[in-house]
Amino acid sequence: MDRLTDLWLYLAASPLLWLTLTLIVFMFALWLNRLAKGSPLLHPVLVSMAIIISILTLTGISYNQYFEGAQFVHFLLGPATVALAVPLYDHLAKVREIMALLLVTCVSGALVAAMSAAGVALLMGSMPETVMSIMPKSVTSPIAMGISEKIGGYPSLTSGLVLITGTLGCFVAPPLFRLMNIEDHKIRGFVLGVSSHGIGTALAFEISALAGAFAGLAIGMTGVVSAILIPLMARMLS
Amino acid sequence: MLGGFVILLGCQLIGELLVRSLDLPFPSPVVGMILLLIGLMIYGEVPEGLRVVAEGLLRHLSLLFVPAGVGLMVHFKLIQADWLSIALALLISSVLTIVIAALVMGRMMSKDGEGKHGSAD
């Protein structure tokens, strides 16, 4: 019994256990999501978060201890953000002719997303840190977390809110499109990307490849536009 | 492939240096992404090694959010205090964003494409 405890103490303190756990839990969550036919309710990231948080809470492991191992995965977010330039470049030629139109859509979408979220949170009397963490919620996580850190929010809170926003968008967008008579797949895709980043893009690819390409483009554009606009808005707010 | 990874890290590093030295308000990976995009536009194509690494990273993009997402557990108190305002803010903002972005883009496309308009089904 003592040896088991010793072994557990040793493993719990090593980064290897938490890195491996992160990968295994994520693979399980992917499998579960495929089983549920890609339902946004069982998004692999949400499921993984829930499982890992439960394990850590039950075993009394602190987030810092977990992060010792998980940081190796987390670090790759930086290079992955830089890598978004590749699909952006691939689509650049195709969308050049309607670039101005996309830019206007993207700027208005990014402004409405950040201002309405901050506005509602302020009206409801949220704490300033919460407001700052909410503002980048429509931006793809790696960029959203960078913005959140920059303006005084909690990046980890933001990343959770980003995921919830993405899932919400997948629920409300289809009925809204029907209500507004939006048939064009370019519009459906781009709007999904603007409001719900990567999770919306996954849904857009289910509509059509054209919608998916425009959603992917919207992720990158909204990210860059928001990275410029949100810190300015945050400065005005505080 | 190694070269592709070096390109990504190099862009991020230059981005970091620019953000620190010029005190820019953007996250440094975003600056790195813009640098890489400009580089690709000048170079004219995506080098094979870079494409392999970039697409590999982006295919597993959602995995990379998990460690930070688990960090939500640190904010349980804050979420408990603000959960209603967070939920309302996310819901109202999502609906508004979708409606306004779709309106703007729809209006501009129908004005743009009078004549050459074709719906994409």
Q: Which residue has tokens 């850190």?
A: A149
Task: Give me the percent of chain A exceeding a pLDDT of 90.
Answer: 50
**A191-194 — which CB contacts under 8 Å span 24+ positions?**
A191/A105, A191/A109, A191/A218, A191/B98, A191/B101, A191/B102, A191/B105, A192/A218, A192/B98, A193/A217, A193/A218, A193/A219, A193/A222, A194/A105, A194/A106, A194/A109, A194/A110, A194/A113, A194/A138, A194/A218, A194/A221, A194/A222, A194/B97, A194/B101
Query: Would you state the pLDDT for residue A148?
Result: 93
Rounded to the nearest angstrom, the minimum Cα separation between A5 and chain B is: 25
CA distance A96 to A102: 9
Enumerate helices (H) and strands (E) in chain B, giving the number of each: 6, 0
* B15 part of contact set with chain A, CB < 8 Å: yes
* A73 part of contact set with chain B, CB < 8 Å: yes
pLDDT in tens, A137-184: 999 887 898 899 889 999 889 988 998 898 889 889 999 999 999 989
Task: Give me the percent of chain A exceeding a pLDDT of 70.
Answer: 98
* B113 part of contact set with chain A, CB < 8 Å: no
Rounded to the nearest angstrom, the minimum Cα separation between A91 and chain B is: 12
CA distance B113 to A133: 39
Q: Report CB contact under 8 Å: A156, B91.
A: no
Confidence of residue A213 (pLDDT cuts 50, 70, 90): confident
pLDDT in tens, A12-51: 888 899 999 999 999 999 999 899 887 767 878 889 999 9
Confidence of residue A94 (pLDDT cuts 50, 70, 90): low
Query: Would you state the pLDDT for residue B119?
Result: 45
Q: Report CB contact under 8 Å: B79, A224.
A: no
Give the residue on A whose Cα is nearest the Cα of B69. A160
Query: Domain locations in chain B?
Result: 1-63, 70-111
Interface confidence: ipTM more than 0.85 = no
Q: How many Cβ atoms are within 10 Å of B93's Cβ, its own excluded? A: 27
Mean pLDDT score of chain A = 88
Query: Would you state the pLDDT for residue A10?
Result: 82
pLDDT in tens, A70-93: 999 999 988 988 888 888 788 777
* B13 part of contact set with chain A, CB < 8 Å: no
Interface of A with B in 135-194 (CB under 8 A): 137-138, 141-143, 145-147, 149-150, 154-157, 159-165, 168-169, 172-173, 176-177, 180, 182-187, 190-192, 194
Largest CA distance in chain A: 70
Mean pLDDT score of chain B = 86
Whether the predicted pLDDT of B30 surpasses 60: yes
Q: Looking at A6-15, A75-84, A118-127, which range is the least confident one?
A: A6-15
User: b or e along A138-173 (b: 16 or more beta carbons within 10 Å of the residue's beta carbon)?
Assistant: bbbbbbbbbbbbbbebbbbbbbbbbbbbbbbbbebb
Angle at A148 between CA A99 and CA B23, to 5 degrees: 80
Sequence-distant (6+) residues with CB within 8 A of A226 are A110, A113, A114, A136, A138, A139, A143, A144, A147
Q: Looking at A10-24, A93-107, A196-210, B106-120, which range is the least confident one?
A: B106-120
Confidence of residue B117 (pLDDT cuts 50, 70, 90): very low
B45 DSSP 8-state letter: S
Higher-confidence residue: A214 or A1? A214
Confidence of residue A136 (pLDDT cuts 50, 70, 90): very high
CA distance B120 to B106: 13
CA distance A202 to A198: 6
